Structure 1
Amino acid sequence: MENIESDDDDDGITTSDFNFIGFTFLNNFKPFPCSVKYSHHWKKRQALIDEIIAHDVEAGDEEFDDEYSDLHSSFVTKASELRELQERCGEWKKGRWSKQEYDILKTNLKSYMKEFNITDINILLDNADKNIEFYRKIACNIKRPLFVVYRKLLRFFTEENYVGIWTREMNDRLVELHALHGNDWNTIGQIMGIGWATCYDHFRTVNINKKYTEGPWSSEEVDKLCQVMVREHGIEDCQLPSNVTWEMISRAVVTRSAMQCRFKWVMLLSWKLKGGEEKWTTSDDLRLIECLNEDEELEDEEDIDWERLAAAWPSARSKYFLRQKWASLKRTVPFSSSKIFRECVLYLVRHRAPALRRQLDSMAD
């Protein structure tokens, strides 16, 4: 299973934001029978499926205007295919989803279900391989590939993905199954009774098999990481080269995982190698709020050029560091997950910025 795009960030959106649906999303590309009881008689259900598929095939692109129809032309899953898609369609949005994107996704789902008077979304999802038009319509006007939209839905609507805190027994079982089945996450997920994406991400991001060291990095580990990064990519590109294979970097460091190496590099080492010394202060928080407020053309945080901002900011270790600081500020906004970008900025300007100025004034006295 290739890691196409990570949605590790907590978006602050929950299934309650989609409570008009009420379904369990499948945890496999190849549809298999769901455990839930369908609200339709099987024959009527199958007839409705055939009608929906026939309708979509006949309708094609004529009945909906997708701004990113080229991006949604096929269900791309492999890294090589994604590179070809990017060359053909250009860059798409990555990382954290905005509230606007969630609103579009919710509207698209509502419209499609209303069109066919569907109350059980499994009718569509159970036949996703035959009904690609469903995904194309659900992804309409969302600047992300179909597979990424699928992964987002998968995370929200697979009940098995919400497992709470992983116990030691669950961790041990996951390690045991991975040793037995390798990267066959579909099989592992079915045996665990947990969505395959959740199993994969938990195994990838959490040091459950104790293979890697935790806690502060030693000077020897830092030296190894710097040496392999400089050797493979050069200091000029040290902020974050686009072609880094972190698994390979991890093998060279030995004692740290790919995720640990990536985080250490983008959050600290690349900044130090470029001579960074200044620490992030209260005045930097205030400056960030003011910068985002002054750019009146910004309507979506995904449009922020974090790299440009970080380049002219001595205490910003990287664009990822700067974005993390914005995320910390946004968490001080009440109900930030239900607010659009501009509403969050306005709240910070009115409430957080004055408090920061008072704090700076008191420090100056």
Structure 2
Amino acid sequence: DLYTVRQELEEFIPHVKNISDSSVRKMAGRDLTRFREFKKQGIAVKFGRFTQKENKQIHKNVEEFLSLTGIDSAEKLLFTSRYPEDRDTIQRLKTEYHFCEKISEGIPRPWRLIYYRARKMFDPNNYKGRYTMEEKEKLKKYQALHGNDWKKISELMSRSNLSVAMKYSEIKSAINYGPWTKEETQKLLDAVKVVLRRKLEAENPSSPVSVEQSNTDLWIDREKLNQPLPWTEIETKVGSRYWRQCRQKWNSILTSRLTRGHLLHKGINRLQTKINLIKRLYETKAEDASEVNWDELSNAIGDFPRAYVQTKFYKLKVSCVPLWKRKTFSEIIDYLYEKTLPEFEEKL
């Protein structure tokens, strides 16, 4: 029964209690058997960013399914609605050859996430480069006609849903690119408070968060401060900045608050942070960035925000690792540990 299924799924997906009954039924059919098999093999169900290995497996699964069924492109397989004349045939082949099982083979993640990842990987509309001025004008016109129906707009522009939504966020109004004013910063803080308060109330509906509490506890609960935030909503509340600027400013504020103003970027402190970061990354033995627990790593090297640590790592690889774009994550870490670390320690 549904209650039993939900209980079993909770072992693999802790937040399953917040998932609708219809979605749980689908997961029971698509995921539960796979999850049991992965458990027998000692493999945990994963979330978050996909690894290179998983991306390759998805690519392999899609190619094998195309070969098996004779469907002539991944776009037809994953975006069947774009080919109405072939839709019935493709749907029949998907059912006949067990599309759900095949596409998720060898990947310990919920089927839905694997499917979305495959769509992102194989959507030709995701890789169209920069928007031209003509495209930007079209985007404004289509948004005026269709509102925030990004699926409709993406079809009209041959761009992905996410691409058109994010681009419109950037161009919809005059954006300030100068230094943040006190008023803008306060709007950002107020917007983040509203979001965090709502999150707390959703988690504890029986204990509403008071205004006084929201002005104190929210700013000292590190776990809450590091949660992903709805930046497009925050952008709307700030008004004069687009979402990426809001996120960058918030990360800057967060770093300052959580480190209580310590000098992180100068002299010995700066060098020691780099050394600690390289050592800790090497100790993780991670094959991919998605395998790193950035929150734990941030705590270990100095209780920094994860965004600060991720930015620090990015700057390290760009400035210290030659041809880093051609190297795997583990190769980058090995280079930093074997070549860069001794140089830093000598300077220290």
Structure 2 length-normalised TM: 0.65
Residue of structure 1 aligned with 2:305, choices 318, 322, 329: 318
- Residue 21 of structure 1 aligns with which residue? none
After superposition, the Cα gap between the structure-2 partners of 1:228 and 1:115, relative to the gap in structure 1 and judged at 3 Å, is closer
For 2:77, give the aligned amino acid.
Answer: L
Moved more, 329-338 or 167-176: 329-338
Question: Contact 2:58–2:118 (CA<8 Å) still a contact in 1?
Answer: no
1:261 aligns to 2:224 (yes or no): no
* Aligned residue runs from structure 1 range 141-160, under 5 A: 141-160=106-125
Between the two proteins, the alignment pairs up a number of residues equal to 278
Residue of structure 1 aligned with 2:255, choices 271, 281, 291: 271
For 1:326, give the aligned amino acid.
Answer: F
1:291 aligns to 2:280 (yes or no): yes
Measure, in 2, the Cα distance between the counterparts of 1:243 and 1:198.
19
Q: What do the CA deviations read for 1:74-115 (whole angstroms, capped 9, x no partner)?
A: xxxxx9659x769x98974213x3221122222323433444
1:107 aligns to 2:60 (yes or no): yes
- Residue 211 of structure 2 aligns with which residue? none
Q: What do the CA deviations read for 1:16-38 (whole angstroms, capped 9, x no partner)?
A: xxxxxxxxxxxxxxxxxxxxxxx
Measure, in 1, the Cα distance between the counterparts of 2:54 and 2:338.
26
For 2:263, give the aligned amino acid.
Answer: E
- Unaligned 5+ runs, structure 2: 1-8, 11-17, 36-43, 81-86, 198-213
* Aligned residue runs from structure 1 range 180-329, under 5 A: 180-204=145-169, 207-230=170-193, 232=197, 234-237=218-221, 240=225, 242=227, 244-265=229-250, 267-274=251-258, 275-280=260-265, 281-296=270-285, 298-314=286-302, 317-329=304-316
Question: Contact 1:188–1:199 (CA<8 Å) still a contact in 2?
Answer: yes
- Residue 45 of structure 1 aligns with which residue? none
Q: What do the CA deviations read for 1:240-266 (whole angstroms, capped 9, x no partner)?
A: 36474444433443323344323321x
Measure, in 2, the Cα distance between the counterparts of 1:107 and 1:157.
12
Which protein has the bigger helix share?
A: 2
Measure, in 2, the Cα distance between the counterparts of 1:178 and 1:302.
35
Measure, in 2, the Cα distance between the counterparts of 1:254 and 1:284.
36
After superposition, the Cα gap between the structure-2 partners of 1:110 and 1:167, relative to the gap in structure 1 and judged at 3 Å, is closer
Q: What do the CA deviations read for 1:304-356 (whole angstroms, capped 9, x no partner)?
A: 22112222444x64112212322333445456566544333212222332343
Measure, in 2, the Cα distance between the counterparts of 1:123 and 1:192.
18
Question: Contact 2:226–2:306 (CA<8 Å) still a contact in 1?
Answer: no
For 2:336, give the aligned amino acid.
Answer: L
Percent of pairs with identical residues: 25
After superposition, the Cα gap between the structure-2 partners of 1:210 and 1:144, relative to the gap in structure 1 and judged at 3 Å, is farther
After superposition, the Cα gap between the structure-2 partners of 1:123 and 1:171, relative to the gap in structure 1 and judged at 3 Å, is closer
After superposition, the Cα gap between the structure-2 partners of 1:185 and 1:211, relative to the gap in structure 1 and judged at 3 Å, is same
Measure, in 1, the Cα distance between the counterparts of 2:101 and 2:307.
31
Question: Contact 2:234–2:243 (CA<8 Å) still a contact in 1?
Answer: yes
Measure, in 2, the Cα distance between the counterparts of 1:141 and 1:337.
27
The structure, 1 or 2, with the larger RCO (C-alpha pairs under 8 Å, 6+ apart) is: 1
Question: Contact 1:161–1:194 (CA<8 Å) still a contact in 2?
Answer: yes
3-state SS of paired residue (2:107): coil
Measure, in 2, the Cα distance between the counterparts of 1:139 and 1:336.
30
Moved more, 179-188 or 112-121: 112-121
Measure, in 2, the Cα distance between the counterparts of 1:301 and 1:190.
33
- Residue 178 of structure 1 aligns with which residue? 143
* Aligned residue runs from structure 1 range 73-92, under 5 A: 81=20, 92=46
Shift of residue 291 of structure 1? 1.2
Alignment RMSD:
3.7
3-state SS of paired residue (1:142): coil
Residue of structure 2 aligned with 1:352, choices 334, 340, 347: 340
For 2:254, give the aligned amino acid.
Answer: S
- Residue 161 of structure 1 aligns with which residue? 126
Measure, in 2, the Cα distance between the counterparts of 1:261 and 1:91.
32
Question: Contact 1:286–1:353 (CA<8 Å) still a contact in 2?
Answer: yes
Question: Contact 2:153–2:164 (CA<8 Å) still a contact in 1?
Answer: yes
Measure, in 2, the Cα distance between the counterparts of 1:135 and 1:338.
33
- Unaligned 5+ runs, structure 1: 1-69, 72-78
Measure, in 1, the Cα distance between the counterparts of 2:227 and 2:186.
22
Moved more, 132-141 or 176-185: 132-141
Question: Contact 1:99–1:338 (CA<8 Å) still a contact in 2?
Answer: no
Structure 1 length-normalised TM: 0.63
* Aligned residue runs from structure 1 range 58-69, under 5 A: none
